Amino acid sequence: MRIPVFAANWKMHKSGLEAMAWVREFALLTRELSADAAEVVIAPPFTAIAVAAEAVRGSHLTVAGQNLYFEREGAFTGEVSAGMLKAAGALSVIIGHSERRRLFGDTDESVRRKVAAAHGAGLTPIVCVGETLDERERGDTLAVLDAQVRAGLDGCSGDQIGALILAYEPVWAIGTGRNATAVEAGDAHAHIRRRLREWFGGAYAEHTRILYGGSVKPENIRELIGLADVDGALVGGASLDAASFASIVKKATS
Ligand code: 13P
């Protein structure tokens, strides 16, 4: 049984104080949620990670970074390493988000190195993959997913595959209000799991959580979470408000 994961990607939003207020409100709203019904992760900006980690202590929430740099330390102005995230209190880290790929030069190769760095520091990678609208319209969706999954996870052991988290985020669904339909998401997730089985073995692939991301809201979570290979959600806009994210988690688990 895969425990679903609901991850809030705050992107470039929220100070430490705002993160604390969010955690307080979310905890109140999800008092009834049993700890084994779902894992809930918040990914604040780097500057709020330590404060958020302190705020979630003793709750069922954990904290993730939104990115990392794969070197351990050195002259890399503006970058943050996996070990630094861990020391600040993060347990996981988002890697290869399409905004990082599109705006900040992340490639399948840098994703692979970041995944290895996360593993090296004991962080759970949350690896994002997904096609652009152009790629979907050209009929290249599955080939793009194959390339991103294969290259990004190259070198991982079976155990690491089982423990990491993938997020299928079609680029055209991010921040657009247009989520993938159940058929589109279901096909992509089933395809990714099939490939994980082929490449890494069924025993491991059954454990990998594959999240859906892209315009997830309280109104569409039930349909998405009902799909066999959708094991949770990576939520942007609708996670900024604690009440709407709490509603997503509650609807998905009730
Ligand atoms: P939205 O939920 O705002 O579409 O963003 C999705 C996303 O990019 C999560 O990582």
pLDDT at 60 over 90: no
With 90 as the cut, is the pLDDT of residue 8 above it?
yes
What pLDDT is attached to residue 3? Answer: 97
Residue range of the domain that includes 108: 5-253
Please determine, for residue 141, whether its predicted confidence score (pLDDT) is greater than 90: yes
For residue 109, the SS3 value is: helix
Place of tokens 């992760």: 41
User: How many domains does the structure of the chain reveal?
Assistant: 1
Q: Is 109 a catalytic residue?
A: no
User: CB under 6 Å to ligand 1: residues?
Assistant: 9, 97, 169, 174-175, 213-216, 234-238
CATH number of the domain within which 24 lies: 3.20.20.70
List, for residues 160-176, the tens digit of each pLDDT value: 999 999 999 999 999 99
Q: What CA–CA distance (Å, rounded) separates 146 from 152?
A: 10
Among 169, 171, 172, 248, say which to mutate for ligand 1: greatest number of ligand atoms within 8 Å of CB.
169
> Quick one: 6 exposed, middle or buried, by C-beta within 10 A (0-12, 13-18, 19+)?
buried
For residues 119 and 134, the answer to whether their CB atoms sit within 8 Å is no
| Stretch 195-212: mean pLDDT | 97
Specify the pTM.
0.98
15: which 2 tokens? 């100070």
Q: What's residue 92's pLDDT?
A: 98
